[in-house]
Amino acid sequence: MNEEILMNYAKLIVTTGVNVQKDQDVVISASVEDAYFVKYVVEASYKAGAREVTIDWSYQPVTKIKYMYEDVETLKELPEWYLKKQEYRVDRLPAMIHIISEDPDGLSGIDQSKLLEVQMATGPIMMKFREQKDNKFQWTIVGIPGEAWAKKVFPNLSKDKAMDALWDAILKVTRVYGDPIKNWEEHNKNLASKTEKLNALGIQTLTYSSKNGTDFSIDIHQDMNFLAGGEKTLSGVFYNPNMPTEECFTSPIKTSCNGVVMATKPLSVRGVLVSDFGFRFEKGRVVEVLCDNEEYKDVLTKLISTDEGAAQLGEVALVPFDSPINQTNLLFYNTLYDENACCHLALGRAFTECIKNYQTKSEEEIQEVDLNLSMIHVDFMIGSADLSIEAKTYDGKVVSIFKNGTWAI
């Protein structure tokens, strides 16, 4: 891959993604296999004014070995030095850059009960640190090709050609070609225009239907806004948490979802790629996992058992079926990309930043909206070429939001 293009991508991540501020710390999480690209992100961070850049390295094959051989009690331990590091980051509020490149099937074969037990033990502790930082720092998730991931997407190409093909796809949908910073400025303007239309409607209920069996409704609290693209921290720093992004999203009333939701793309859950599944909801909770594959059904059942909020929804996201990502005709096998190909929902944690004027509200006022709380936030795709979405507004109107899988407004 051309070095200049890689440097432009790194600069985009640092300046438009997390928007590093002068003397701000930066933390990059990445696989050791990504080192060739991480160096460009590190340099771009310093050029943007970073005080210190730290890298949290990982390696998926080692993670799998740990889960195979360590006992649960050892895996559940969070040593004092690790907790101190989290406390330090709560204090420093570094910009967080998450680079993903892992094999979608990289953790398959691991005992899901073991994974669940570890997450249930460590999740509440880590969630407390997250809550202390919520909406106070910038973060972004971006992707670069990994060899196993590239071969998954392009199984008929050689390793090198698959890597090149996935690099090209990622750079296209992340708007890196041409003037990437200007591209993102225009993209954010277009997304903001769409959310303005949605918020002006005053949507109370969204009703979804598709020939694949999706047939459900969900309510939106009148104090909620749709957001899209970039966001602002409480101190007013603008950043883009997902690169790419095509969604307009909000968080629903957690007890309101009723009906059947069928997934339209595979989903990687704790290292297992599951497909051909759906959920039946009653009064906001999953009451049935719809899946003929018993292994996948077990993985999904354990997912929604993670905690009290894991079986409820924390996000509804509107993405046209003709989005640039879907137009690639690729299945990325990665949620960051596939969720931005079409409409999706998310099990688990909701977004407090979707509350109207949340910056001015007290903690008590935010809690009154009663959004879903969970250690997880797992997006799954439900968009299709024939998806229909109708909205009932708080003033009693019925408006077509999506028709034949794309915008009707």
Kindly list the domain boundaries of the chain, sorted by start residue.
Answer: 3-173, 201-407
The candidate with the shortest Cα–Cα distance to 352, out of 136, 129, 181, is: 136
Band (pLDDT 50/70/90 cuts) for residue 25 is: very high
Angle at 199 between CA 197 and CA 204, to 5 degrees: 120
pLDDT value for 359 = 79
CA distance 60 to 332: 18
Over 35-67, what HEC string results? HHHHHHHHHHHHHCCCCCEEEEEECHHHHHHHH
Angle at 353 between CA 12 and CA 188, to 5 degrees: 35
Is residue 27's pLDDT more than 90? yes
pLDDT, mean of residues 59-75: 95
Band (pLDDT 50/70/90 cuts) for residue 109 is: confident
Is residue 258's pLDDT more than 80? yes
The candidate with the shortest Cα–Cα distance to 227, out of 265, 188, 180, 254, is: 188
pLDDT value for 115 = 86
Band (pLDDT 50/70/90 cuts) for residue 268 is: confident
CA distance 178 to 5: 10
Q: What is the pLDDT of residues 204-242, one digit of tens each?
A: 999 999 999 999 999 999 999 999 989 899 899 999 999
Is residue 30's pLDDT more than 80? yes
Architecture of the structural domain at 3-173: 3-Layer(aba) Sandwich (3.40)
Query: Is residue 274 a contact partner of residue 291, using CB atoms and an 8 Å limit?
Result: yes
Ranges 27-41, 267-281, 366-380, most confident: 27-41
Q: Which residue has the higher pLDDT, 115 or 14?
A: 14
Q: What is the pLDDT of residues 238-256, one digit of tens each?
A: 999 999 999 999 999 999 9
pLDDT, mean of residues 369-376: 89
CA distance 319 to 271: 25
Band (pLDDT 50/70/90 cuts) for residue 270 is: confident
Is residue 364's pLDDT more than 90? no
Is residue 320's pLDDT more than 90? yes
Query: Is residue 60 a contact partner of residue 147, using CB atoms and an 8 Å limit?
Result: no
pLDDT value for 40 = 98
CA distance 312 to 382: 16
CA distance 269 to 273: 6
pLDDT value for 131 = 86
Bridge partners, 280 (sequence order): 260, 288
What percent of the chain has a predicted confidence (pLDDT) above 90? 85
Q: Is the pTM of this model over 0.85?
A: yes
Q: What is the DSSP letter of 20?
A: P
